[in-house]
Structures are given as C-alpha cells and as structure tokens.
Amino acid sequence: MNAYSQALTAYSSHYSVQSPRSLEVVAFNQANARLRAATSFPQIAEALHRNRELWSIIATDVASEGNKLPPEVRARLFYLAEFTQSHSRKVLKDEAKVAPLIEINEAMISGLSGVGVDE
C-alpha cells in the first residue's frame, strides 16, 4: 500500500480526500468558471491570469524529468500551454475571444475525467 492509499484509508472517513487527477479537474472547472463569468476588462484579465498560472504549472510539470507521461502526451500538453499563453495575450489586446481557452480546458476536464476515453 503506497502513502496515498494509506492516507486515503486513514482520512477518508473524516475528510474529503481527492486524487491528484480530481484536483486537476477542480482547477480546470474553476478556471472555466472564472473565464465564463468575466464581463469587465479587469475580470477578464484576472481570469486569464489565473488560467495562465494553471497552464504554467502544467508546462513546468510536463517539462520536468520526473514526469511519467509518454513523451508525445507531454509535448502536446506543453504545446497547449504555449497556445494558452499566446492566445491569452491576443484576448487582452481584444484580437481574440476567450472561447478557445474554455474549449481547451473542457477537453482537459473530459480527458482527466475519462469521458470519451476507451479503457
């Protein structure tokens, strides 16, 4: 039994313990909620900033030597992180819409949740 399993067993009856994957889903859902709710420029800028932070964390993780994802998945995720950064700059300049960022996050949520994935 690994440390995560032990913690889950020990604390699950007293606390809500979530897996790293479910925490990632929560983070993407929160990012999308902010992006959807933003109506003024300051709100849009803040939502974009938070989304970019999330994707920066992902880029750092997939670029690390210890990441166990297959190289092609790591490369795709890194590309999405770069796209998110670039597209966010365009949104801030009023040259693009937020919708593609929301769609990318929704795809991540689906993938992390196993929706549409054959097992």
* 23-60 confidence digits (pLDDT tens): 999 999 999 999 999 999 999 999 999 999 999 999 99
pLDDT above 90 for 15 = no
pTM: 0.80
Spell out the residues 6+ positions from residue 38 whose beta carbon is closer than 8 angstroms to its own.
Answer: 44, 46, 47, 98
Q: Which residue, 26, 61, 46, is CA-closest to 92?
A: 46
Least confident of 46-50, 54-58, 92-96, 115-119: 115-119
Q: How far is CA 24 from CA 6, 8, 18, 21, 75, in A?
A: 21, 17, 10, 5, 18
- Asked whether residue 62 carries a pLDDT value surpassing 60, the answer given is yes
Q: What ranges do the domains of the chain cover? A: 20-113
